[in-house]
Amino acid sequence: MQIEVKLSLENAEGYRRTVNTLANHHLKDECYYDIFFDFPYTALLERSSVLRLRVPCDPASAHHRPFTPVASSKSGGESNYDPEAEYEALMRACRGEAPAQSSSECVRAMVATSDVGSAGECGHSLPVPIFTPGALGKLILKQKNTVEQGHQMSFVVEDPQVPPAVVEALVRLVPESLLTTGVFSASTATDGGSSDVFAVLSAYAQQRPCSEDGMGESAIVRILSQLCAVAGAYAPADSAGVFATDADDSDAHFTQVRFAAMGTRTAYTQQRACGIENGKRGVDGGAGSPELMPQLRAVAGFMTLRKVFAYAPVITLQLGPVKAVELTESEKEFREGLRVRLDASYFLPGLTIYELEVPKCGVTVDDVATEVGCFLRQIEVPFHMGSESKFTRYMQYVAATREAEQDSNDVKLRLTNVSGYEEVRRNLQQLLLPASATNSQSSQDRRHVSNTEVNPVDGEEAGGDDMWWHTNPKGHLQETNEDFFFDSPEQTLRQGKSFLRLRKRVHSNKYLLVLKAHQVFSGGQQNSLSSKVGVPEAVAHALIDNPTHFLHEYAEHFALVKILWREFGVRELCRTASFTTERLTVPWWASQVQPSTFQRSWAGGASSTLVQQSQPIYTSTSYYLSKQQQQRQGFGAASKLLPVPPLLIHLDRTLYKLPANAQVPRIPFSQCRSWGERQCETYEMEVTNIVAPTEPKDVVAELTTVLNGLGVEWTVGVRSKLEQYFCLMEM
């Protein structure tokens, strides 16, 4: 496992100040372009994994920007435009084979688009990588890549010497728009064609099947083994649990399968043998069964300029020469081997992030993080403890630039008291299990009275009911959210029945920015135009610390902020409210109005090919996307049915901390009102994930029937949590 320190510097000024402070201990500069690959259904991203190819670049790339705008290729009258020749010229320029003055002519200038803001200015253009000719690449697979509280941990399989021919073949598969603008063009994003990335890697693994000492598999073979295992979890399956393919496509995939097989020591062969051993491929799991080749494609790419310094000055400046002497010999020796890396990563035009990393910290990561934090505070550099990797931050920035407004139809019911809330918590399992699983017992036998303690020793079933969802981390989620709401001083959003909310997931330290516009409540149904995007911690703090500055800084980059600027005319933001919500989210498998296809087909029998019966059913977003892709491609008998996700039930307990209302007159002979903060709680149930043709009113009817059976008092939701906050303020 690799363990390192990762801190996020807030601005370019702090980056320059840190560089100048450590200038006398500078060791080297590095410049590289990182290309990230994933499956079409983003399985690696969801599993906190990263497949990255690092290509060395000329350090001058950081200053290599297109200055002269070139006419756009949209006009159909241009007969001298040759995309193949232009692409070859671009690749020659990136490899450094062309002079610097002609390289900028080969690169098509960025056109100002609504996605990434104005790119016509030199300061807002994106540096173009100049790849070092003949340099070795570095291919790395990071699994369980987590960043929390400034600590980055991951399991790594690395091939540090990828031949130049393989690097060039992979770079050729990267769309030109990614190199020049930092994002995929619309035509590239909608292209459903397969990529040859896996074929290139398979051919490379065939050339290098063993490690250098010949005692084991090479790094590339181990990487492909892990990729095949991930791809197998999303492969289409028929009713018998056999991974199915179209027989007509067997000839087309024969050559790819031969490359993927790579002899008898390969990951592909091992995965196939393992599948036969586990009964996944049935009796006829021999060589005659064609296999589908996993599809990998480039999903991200950006350039990073890295400066490497010795770690010793951090100790000297932070502890002083006297205290530094007090370190033991082993501590001194360990710190002498540490390095400080300052990274400037160019994501999008006008969007550059700055990070400080200390790799290979091991078990001393806490001490090193504390020392580096004190060092930055001493030189007055604002920073945040890292909570996302570069790749995650890049994906969040790119997602924020895209228009993602959608019509949201949900169901909201209000539970009138805490007894009803506790009753629902105790009986959630009844809501989730199908009726056939519980019809052998009467409704009274299945209920647990909320004011009666359940002794875990009395029975296996009783002992697991109260907190049973904690054993199902993949199917159920319990979280605490801290919500911050923003509006103009004139309350423009509230007057338009809209709100801007920043949600912080307390335990995971993740942030979600949501704009809900034109909310309408009717009969327990709520409808709105919803835009949501995950944002990095640095962006979230920028919004909390200075909302108006955030509005002006990101108005040209983030699509959600553009809506505030253009449609609502907001020019100034301030925080209007904040409160905390404890939320329990569970899938409603027993719903009759929207039965999930995962429950009917996959979870019924084919799920045994992936997980044990005692494990939860994996209904992730990636799996849902993979099923959609398989349906479009026509794989398997289940493709005749459109994949339908289960409804999601959210059980909310919201805590409002309200200022004391000292103006309210005291009632005679009553208890005096507290002069401190008032605390109020509300209890709600929401149902989301409603897809056509399901009607929200039918969901309301089914949910209220269940609540009536439990004897829980409820009312239809008539206002949002924010409006409830303002109502409580007026009381």
Residue 727, both tokens: 């109502």
Other C-beta atoms lying within 10 Å of the C-beta of residue 113: 15
Q: What is the pLDDT of residues 657-694, one digit of tens each?
A: 987 765 555 555 555 555 557 889 999 999 998 988 89
Residue 690, both tokens: 């409603």
Q: What is the pLDDT of residue 640?
A: 52
Q: Of the candidates 642, 652, 650, 646, which has an alpha carbon nearest to the alpha carbon of residue 582?
A: 652
Tokens 């159920």 locate to 476
pLDDT above 70 (res 90): no
pLDDT (mean) for 696-705: 93
Q: What is the pLDDT of residues 292-334, one digit of tens each?
A: 567 888 999 999 999 999 987 777 766 555 455 567 788 788 8
- End-to-end Cα, the chain, rounded Å: 55
Residue type, 391: F
What does the mean pLDDT of the chain come to? 74
Q: CB–CB of 173/28 below 8 Å? A: no
Other C-beta atoms lying within 10 Å of the C-beta of residue 607: 21
Name all domains of the chain by residue range, CATH numbers in brackets. 2-68+84-182+298-399 (2.40.320.10), 196-294 (no CATH), 402-406+482-580 (2.40.320.10), 416-436+443-451+465-477+584-603+614-663+674-730 (no CATH)
pLDDT above 50 (res 288): no
pLDDT (mean) for 609-629: 45
3-state helix, strand, coil in the chain (%, to 5): 40, 25, 35
pLDDT above 80 (res 391): yes
Residue type, 644: V
DSSP string, 5-54: EEEEE-SHHHHHHHHHHTGGGEEEEEEEEEEEEE-TT-HHHHTT-EEEEE
Q: What is the pLDDT of residue 596?
A: 77
Find the range with the poorest average confidence among 560-569, 585-594, 721-730. Answer: 585-594
Other C-beta atoms lying within 10 Å of the C-beta of residue 144: 11
Q: What is the pLDDT of residue 59?
A: 86
Entry pTM: 0.73
Quote the DSSP letter at residue 478: E
Q: Which strand (E) or helix (H) includes residue 335?
A: helix 329-336
Cα–Cα distance, 511 to 519 (Å, whole number): 22
Q: Which strand (E) or helix (H) includes residue 148?
A: strand 137-148
Enumerate the β-bridge partners of residue 367: none
Q: What is the pLDDT of residue 60?
A: 83
pLDDT (mean) for 120-137: 76
Q: What is the pLDDT of residues 465-489, one digit of tens each?
A: 333 333 344 456 889 999 999 999 9
Cα–Cα distance, 666 to 132 (Å, whole number): 78
Residue 555, both tokens: 């108005």
Q: Which residues, 6 or more positions from 138, have their beta carbon under 8 angstroms from its beta carbon?
A: 53, 54, 158, 159, 160, 161, 162
Q: What is the pLDDT of residues 32-45, one digit of tens each?
A: 999 999 988 788 88
Q: What is the pLDDT of residue 668?
A: 58
Tokens 């059976």 locate to 709
